[in-house]
Structure formats: structure tokens, C-alpha cells
Amino acid sequence: MVAELITVGTEILMGNIVNTNAAYLSEMCARLGLTLYYETTVGDNEKRMYDTIRTALDRSDIVILSGGLGPTQDDITKDTAAKVMGIPLVEDSHTRKRIQHYFETLKGKDVKITENNWRQALVPQGAIVLDNENGTAPGLIMEKDDRTVILLPGPPSELKPMFEGQVFPYLEKKQPQVLSSRMVKLCGIGESMAETMIEDMISAQKNPTIAPYAKIGEVHLRVTASAVDDEAAGRLIKPVVKELKKRFGKHIYTTDEKVTLEESLIKLMKKKKLTLTCAESCTGGAISARLVNVPGASDVLKQGLVTYSNKAKRRYLGVKKATLKAVGAVSRETAWEMAKGGCFQTGTDACIAVTGIAGPGGGTDEKPVGLVYIGCCVGGHVKVKEYHFSGNRAKIREQSVVAALTLLRSCILKHKC
């Protein structure tokens, strides 16, 4: 089946935001075995949106739109899509109640329900209403004459859970062949290196296929097989995953789609009964924030110390004044003392410590922007690694976070307990 994406938003056309929804939805369609020939972005203009949806319906079975479902006058996606399909809008009492409830739970904030909000309770007659757990605009599925139009809210935090929870299972049922896939997630290895290591597998592939996706500091390999049922697809996938495990070894942190690097790390530390302190300078709390993404992280992470100032590094981590004076805050020695001190001052089994120059200022010839030291102490043993990252401040910090999690994982795997 052929699907087509239309992302709606003047802010995309103005270049205010990067269209990550299109990338996300494309990946999901690929997973579902839907063929995608076109992606279009259009603004909040009725005539142009109408034409775009009309054209898409002429050449594709399924049209997925995202954005423009909000309560404001600008938001015309629902009205326009319903008009193209020739379906009238009617009030959905279930959605009206849900919106009412949504605003009631917001009572701590200074937010009032305005007349605009009730426009979101209007839905195309007979449409499948997709509840939005993270906002007010419901998603909608319209079906008519062998064509399906799916409307999704624009904010990724609303779109993604709605797609995974409700749209994915719906589309899966439409597909004659089952497409099943397994994600092999790697850390501590670059994209080109990973691809080179499986070049032969990729060029010989038919079914299953292997598709590499580069993430910051990680590489994900999706192994996808098409078969009559899940079991048959699973039998095709198994030997490929086995071969990948053989080639990448400990670089693989999970083969479970939903598991993140931080989740696998928390699970590993729980299993080994290890507690953790994060000691962060240039990452500014981003490592502990990432670990706290994992529900139940509190069994492992006892505290995070964002020792941004030298004074804080001394006070909370016991970094020596002499060390800071002799070699500076961004140094192998300081990272070492931060990691060691993070364990000893707090009594946790492990500490991951980061100090570096994220830029744009603060760099010198000797210590350029992008220079980052990561120290890791597990069971009293400290390891420090030096990194040279490139990119802007945000990119350098993101890379530092993933490198820290990767180093911590590798130290824990080596640690005997």
C-alpha cells in the first residue's frame, strides 16, 4: 500500500523548526511496510491545503497529515481534510468531555477554556477519534472509497504516543503481509565503522533487510522481514540478529526497540545492585536528567551534583584546590578527582563525572572548544577518557551525555561484583 505524508505548518516553511515529524512518520511507515513516494509540507492556507490533500488522495491509499489541529483560527487541517473527503463535521460529546477534563486538571495554572477550545470537539462524521493523552486536539481517522486520511496533532510529544498507541496498530491490520522487525542498538561505535562492518550483509540483503539509522552517539540497525505471520518473520530475523551480535559484541546494548541506552544502563546497575552519583560540569545536569527519564531510576541514581563552579567542585566532590590551580577545571586530573570524590563523598558505588569546554567561548589553543574529559569510578577504580567533539554548544553537550553513559556502561560491564 502507498502512503503519503503532509506536514502542515507555516513555521516549517519559514524554517523556524526542523521537520522531525516527517522523519519520525517516514520511519514508522517504513516499519509498517508502507511505501512512501512523496512528503509535502504546506502552510495553513485553505486553497493550497485542499489542493495538496486532493493530489495526495489521487495517488496514494493512505494520507497522513500532521499539524494544524490546534484551537486557533490558523488551524484549518481538520476542516479542510473533511471538505476534501466530503464529510460534514459534528460535535463529539466524548471529546468535549475530555477537553473539559483536560482543563480541569490544569487548575493550578492560569489557563481558562476559551470558545476556541470547543472547536476541537468537532469531528468528521463517522471518523475514528484518537484520544490525545498529552493535549486537547484529538487525532482522527477518516475512511471513504478505499482511501484513508489520518490527522495527527503537530507537537511531537502528542503525535508520537498517539501514533504508537493507536495509529500503528490500526495501520498494521490493513497490511496483507506482516512486516516484523527487530532493532539492534549500538553504542560506542561510529556510523561509518558500523556500516563498513556489515557492508557485505547490506549489499546481499533481500528479506530481511537491514537499515542503519544514525543517532547522536549511537547507531540503530533495524532488521525487517516480511512474511505471512509474525512467527515466520521472526524465523527470518533470528539468524541475522545472531550474526550482528557476533560482529558487534558488547557494542550492542539492546535488541529491544523500546529500550533506551539510559534504560539498559539503569537495568544493568539494578541487576548488579550498584548505586550512582552524577557529577556534571559542562553537561549541567543533562546526564542525570536523562537517567531520570527511566521510571524507577531512584533505585540507582541517588543524587546528581551539578558542580558548575570550582567552589562547588571542591565542596561537593572534594576536588583539590591545588589540582584546579595547577591543571584547571577541564583536565584529566579534575575529571579523575570528580569521579573518585563523587563516590567517596556520597557513599555510592559508582560516579560518572564530566568536565569540558562546550563553547562557544572559553576555548584556547591548548584546550579548544569540544575538549571534554569524562571520568568514571566504579568500585573504587577510576577511568578517565579524553574526547574531542565538534559542533555547537548543544551538540557538544549531547555527545558528552551519550559518551558518559557509554563509558559508564563499559566500566560496569568490566567491573566484577
C-alpha count within 13 angstroms, C-beta hemisphere, residue 126: 10
Q: Which three cell numbers stand for residue 161?
A: 504516543
Segment contacting a second copy by CB under 8 A, of 21-29, 144-152, 168-176, 234-242: 21-29
Q: Pick from 1, 26, 268, 272: which binds a second copy (CB under 8 A)?
A: 26
Segment contacting a second copy by CB under 8 A, of 89-97, 122-130, 303-311, 336-344: 303-311
Does residue 204 interact with a second copy by CB under 8 A?
Answer: no
What is the residue whose three cell numbers read 537495568? 267
Q: Pick from 1, 50, 74, 236: which binds a second copy (CB under 8 A)?
A: 74
Give the nearer residue to a second copy in terms of CB position, either 202 or 327: 202
Segment contacting a second copy by CB under 8 A, of 7-15, 143-151, 242-250, 335-343: 7-15
Q: How far is the CB of 40 from a second copy (least distance, A)?
A: 5
Q: Pick from 46, 54, 72, 413: which binds a second copy (CB under 8 A)?
A: 72
Amino acid identity at 218 = E
Does residue 291 interact with a second copy by CB under 8 A?
Answer: yes
Does residue 133 interact with a second copy by CB under 8 A?
Answer: yes
Give the nearer residue to a second copy in terms of CB position, either 71 or 318: 71
Q: Which three cell numbers stand for residue 265?
A: 544502563
Give the nearer residue to a second copy in terms of CB position, either 107 or 206: 107
- Binding residues for a second copy restricted to 235-264, rule: CB under 8 A: none
Q: How far is the CB of 126 from a second copy (least distance, A)?
A: 28
Does residue 316 interact with a second copy by CB under 8 A?
Answer: yes
* Number of shown-chain residues binding a second copy (CB under 8 A): 122
- Alpha-carbon gap, residue 329 to 322, rounded angstroms: 11
- Binding residues for a second copy restricted to 346-365, rule: CB under 8 A: 358-361
Q: How far is the CB of 29 from a second copy (least distance, A)?
A: 7
Do the Cβ atoms of 87 and 142 come closer than 8 Å? yes
Give the nearer residue to a second copy in terms of CB position, either 74 or 243: 74
Q: Pick from 37, 206, 325, 366: which binds a second copy (CB under 8 A)?
A: 37
Give the nearer residue to a second copy in terms of CB position, either 7 or 323: 7
Does residue 77 interact with a second copy by CB under 8 A?
Answer: no
Does residue 162 interact with a second copy by CB under 8 A?
Answer: no
- Alpha-carbon gap, residue 93 to 315, rounded angstroms: 58
**Interior CA angle at 380 toward 374 and 383, to 5°?**
25
Helix (H/G/I), strand (E/B), else coil: 352: strand
Write out the DSSP string of 183-232: EEEEESS-HHHHHHHTHHHHHH-SSSEEEEEEETTEEEEEEEEEESSHHH
Residue in 415, 366, 406, 416 with CA at minimum distance from that of residue 216: 406
Q: Which helix (H) or strand (E) holds 350?
A: strand 350-356
Residue in 146, 138, 144, 145 with CA at minimum distance from that of residue 167: 138
Strand partners, 384: 375
Whether the link from the prior residue into 208 is cis, omega within 30° of 0, is yes
Does residue 391 interact with a second copy by CB under 8 A?
Answer: yes
Does residue 13 interact with a second copy by CB under 8 A?
Answer: yes
- Binding residues for a second copy restricted to 174-203, rule: CB under 8 A: 188-193, 195-196, 199, 202-203
Write out the DSSP string of 152-172: E-SSHHHHHHHIIIIIHHHHH
Q: Pick from 8, 397, 409, 412: which binds a second copy (CB under 8 A)?
A: 397
Enumerate residues 6+ apart whose C-beta is below 8 A from 228. 177, 178
Give the nearer residue to a second copy in terms of CB position, either 25 or 184: 25
Q: How far is the CB of 125 from a second copy (least distance, A)?
A: 25
Give the nearer residue to a second copy in terms of CB position, either 16 or 93: 16
What is the four-CA torsion angle of 100, 101, 103, 109, rounded to 10 degrees?
Answer: 150
- Binding residues for a second copy restricted to 259-288, rule: CB under 8 A: 278, 280, 282-288
- Alpha-carbon gap, residue 91 to 314, rounded angstroms: 62
Do the Cβ atoms of 411 and 383 come closer than 8 Å? yes
Q: Pick from 90, 298, 364, 381: which binds a second copy (CB under 8 A)?
A: 298
Segment contacting a second copy by CB under 8 A, of 108-116, 122-130, 242-250, 333-341: 108-116
Strand partners, 377: 351, 382
- Binding residues for a second copy restricted to 322-341, rule: CB under 8 A: none
Residue in 343, 344, 365 with CA at minimum distance from that of residue 352: 343
